[in-house]
Amino acid sequence: MGEDETIAEVLANSRVIAIVGLSDRPDRSSHGVARYLQREGYRIIPVNPKLTGSVLGEHPYSSLDDVPERVDLVDIFRRPVDVPPVVDAAIRIGVPALWMQLGIVHDQAALLAKAAGIEVVMDRCTAIEHRRLVWEGKLNTNR
């Protein structure tokens, strides 16, 4: 399976996306991406220990381990050095897919996730890829 097919499959099979590092500030990339994903029919779950109030109408959680429902995709907005603990938590909660945002690369963590059976997308933006694949007719938007 090629990279576009993998990305399309991850986006098509995800309904609930935990966004690790989501900011409550509208000027931050994580906030804009989360807002876009919500508009496209995904349920987003903010994961950030610094958040005290709801973000985009959703209750935030301090960590992935605190999220009380099934998560289909973990979308990471953290520095590469902060990725391994997020991957460890993603493995613990049994997510099927993990996404490291544009500019975030951690090969060792990606290998660990893949070894646990998790599909991994790295150094890509969920919003950009979603928009592109819809435009190219490679992703159905019926949610």
pLDDT averaged over every residue in the chain: 96
CATH, domain range 3-135? 3.40.50.720
User: Buried (b) or exposed (e) across 23-41, using 16+ Cβ within 10 A?
Assistant: bbeeeeebbebbebbeebe
User: Going by DSSP bridges, is the β-strand pair 16-20/43-47 parallel, antiparallel, or unpaired?
Assistant: parallel
Model confidence band, residue 120 (pLDDT cutoffs 50, 70, 90): very high
CA distance 37 to 78: 18
Work out the percent of the chain whose per-residue pLDDT is above 70.
97
**pLDDT tens digit sequence for 11-70:** 999 999 999 999 999 999 999 999 999 999 999 999 999 999 999 999 999 999 999 999
pTM for the model stands at: 0.96
Tokens 């995800």, residue? 14
What are the extents of the domains in the chain? Answer: 3-135
